[in-house]
Amino acid sequence: QLTMETHYTKHHAAYTNNLNAAVEKDSTLAGKSIEEILSNLEAIKDEGLRTTIRNNGGGYVNHNLYFSTLSPNPATAPTGALLNQIKEQYKSLEGLQEELAKQAAGRFGSGWAFLVAFKDGSLKVVNTPNQDTPLMDKGGGTPILGIDVWEHAYYLKYKNLRAEYIKAFFKALDWKLVELNYQKVAY
């Protein structure tokens, strides 16, 4: 409880506030979605502002995704097209979860592991450093699930046991919500 409360009310709130303050400094960003801004970071000429938006914008979208797929009463498996694609590419849901856990546990230092979807329905598991998001990578797809492996996500409860946190993450992950994200991207 304390971890999630601190994570949301302190860390996520700081990313949100810092991002809003940074975007206000560049009038060319007015009216653009955060996804559009992050996918075109090179258009921000001021290097310091670009870095601030990269870090805080990434933190904002990554945490929005993270919190939007967790539930106290989660659907424990996807269905339909997402499940079919998972089976095609990873043989089973367990196979996908093993790959996600491997990418999350293997991320040196702070960062994220993502399940990314593409318009053709295909999936890819990636990890990124810091608050980077696949949205920053041209052709990188759209993240539909994200595992936060910054220490603030788990240290209060799990200390240095990142693998235990990752196991617990899957117990709170609502696959129905991930499936809704997939449907917005694929086909």
Do 55 and 92 belong together in one domain? no
Confidence of residue 145 (pLDDT cuts 50, 70, 90): very high
Q: Is the pLDDT of residue 3 over 90?
A: no
Do 108 and 141 belong together in one domain? yes
Q: Are strands 142-148 and 111-117 parallel, antiparallel or unpaired?
A: antiparallel
Domain that holds residue 20: 2-68
Do 84 and 115 belong together in one domain? yes
pTM > 0.85: yes or no? yes
Do 100 and 176 belong together in one domain? yes
Q: Per this entry, what is the length of the chain?
A: 187
Backbone phi, psi, residue 168, to 5°: -65, -35
Any domain includes 124: yes
Do 86 and 152 belong together in one domain? yes
Do 40 and 62 belong together in one domain? yes
Instruction: In whole angstroms, give the CA distance from residue 34 to residue 13.
Output: 16
Number of domains, the chain: 2
Instruction: In whole angstroms, give the CA distance from residue 144 to residue 49.
Output: 27
**Per-residue pLDDT tens digits for 45-82:** 999 999 999 999 999 999 999 999 999 999 999 999 99
Confidence of residue 7 (pLDDT cuts 50, 70, 90): confident
Supply the CATH number for residue 34's domain.
Answer: 1.10.287.990
Do 177 and 89 belong together in one domain? yes
Confidence of residue 1 (pLDDT cuts 50, 70, 90): confident
